[in-house]
Amino acid sequence: MKKMNITKKMVEVGALAIVRAQTLEHACEIAEGCIKGGIPVMEMSYTLNNAGRIIEGLSEKYGEELCVGAGTVLDSETARHAILHGAKFIIAPNYNEDVAKTCNRYQIPYAPGCTSLTEAVDALSLGAAFIKAFPISDFYGSKLGKVFKTPIPDMPILASGGITLDNLHVWLESKVDVCGFGGLLTQGSSEDIAENARKIREIIDDFRKRTAK
């Protein structure tokens, strides 16, 4: 149930903040804005050595109010470290079979970056909750969602890189399930972040209402 519930929450929100905060204090400022704006999902990048401690601090402070996971997780050792520090999901720019197995063992959603349909299918076969359309989404843009979903309509896609308020609707029309944002949800004051989060939330909600069957 744990993996299913976290995955469901991420899909329902439809967006997440990609965070590289150096301190827990800064990460909390970002979290406050995201929560206020209706996007209580954050990815803490493991490009920072203290990412685990920040994830742990955020989890202790916000509990179920915030869904915080780990990003840039390249190997199973890092995945286990993140999970033991409270990460609720694992995201990576690459696909790693051992990471997939570790996440399944702990019932944590895994979103590996896949650069081919074959790799994406292999990841799904080992239990990946999402296929991350990155880094190739930086080159192919929003049409990548349709490229993957045309042969495999049920493939869950998480995309980041180049998504803005102006083009978010295009990514949604390409059937991307979750969209990642850097600057819009990490820069400025908590109120700036909350305002951007509200705008993102409104675009996603409006799109889903218009396209609901």
Distance (Å, whole) CA 184 – CA 193: 7
**What pLDDT is attached to residue 138?**
64
> Treating both helix axes as pointing N-terminal to C-terminal, what angle do 24-37 and 190-211 enclose, rounded to 10 degrees?
40
Q: What are phi and psi of 45, to 5 degrees?
A: -75, 135
Tell me if residue 17 falls in helix, strand or coil. strand
Instruction: Give me the domains of the chain, ranges plus CATH numbers.
Output: 2-191 (3.20.20.70)
Q: What are the mean pLDDT values of the chain's consecutive 10-residue runs (213 residues total)?
A: 95 97 96 98 96 98 97 98 98 97 97 91 96 75 82 93 93 94 95 98 97 82
Measured between alpha carbons, how far apart are the two ends of the chain, in Å? 27
**What pLDDT is attached to residue 28?**
98
Structure tokens at 96: 């790693």
> Treating both helix axes as pointing N-terminal to C-terminal, what angle do 76-84 and 97-106 enclose, rounded to 10 degrees?
20
Structure tokens at 87: 């990460």
In this prediction the pTM is 0.95
